[in-house]
């Protein structure tokens, strides 16, 4: 199940960093955010799901793509480190 969660996170991060505007990003990310939060609460740690939700909320609300890309790269790095550790 961990692989599916990682794939879903990558999918969400891809859409959030390649979307044209923050409004479009909000509409695209909404179903993925709900699905990711649901899966991560049930199958992963609650802390991870809260971090993902906070990250996606910040990326959706910001209009600065550089901030979104920075946050994505930071989270991908921490996610990779966590997967390697477990």
Any idea where the domains of the chain sit in the sequence?
Answer: 2-85
Show the 3-state SS of 11-67.
HHHHHHHHCCCHHHHHHHHHHHHHHHHHHHHHHCCHHHHHHHHHHHHHHHHCCCHHH
pLDDT number for residue 1: 43
pLDDT number for residue 62: 55
Structure tokens at 50: 């809260």
- pLDDT tens for the chain, 86 residues long, are 445 666 666 666 665 555 545 555 555 666 666 666 666 656 655 556 566 666 666 666 655 455 555 555 655 555 555 555 55
pLDDT number for residue 27: 59
């Amino acid at each position: 199940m961990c692989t599916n969660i990682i794939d879903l996170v990558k999918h969400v991060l891809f859409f959030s960093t390649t979307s044209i505007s923050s409004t479009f990003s909000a509409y695209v990310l909404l179903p993925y955010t709900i699905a990711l939060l649901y899966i991560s609460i049930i199958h992963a740690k609650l802390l991870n799901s809260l971090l993902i939700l906070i990250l996606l909320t910040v990326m959706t609300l910001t209009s600065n793509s550089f901030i979104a890309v920075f946050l994505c790269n930071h989270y991908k790095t921490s996610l990779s480190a966590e997967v390697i550790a477990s």
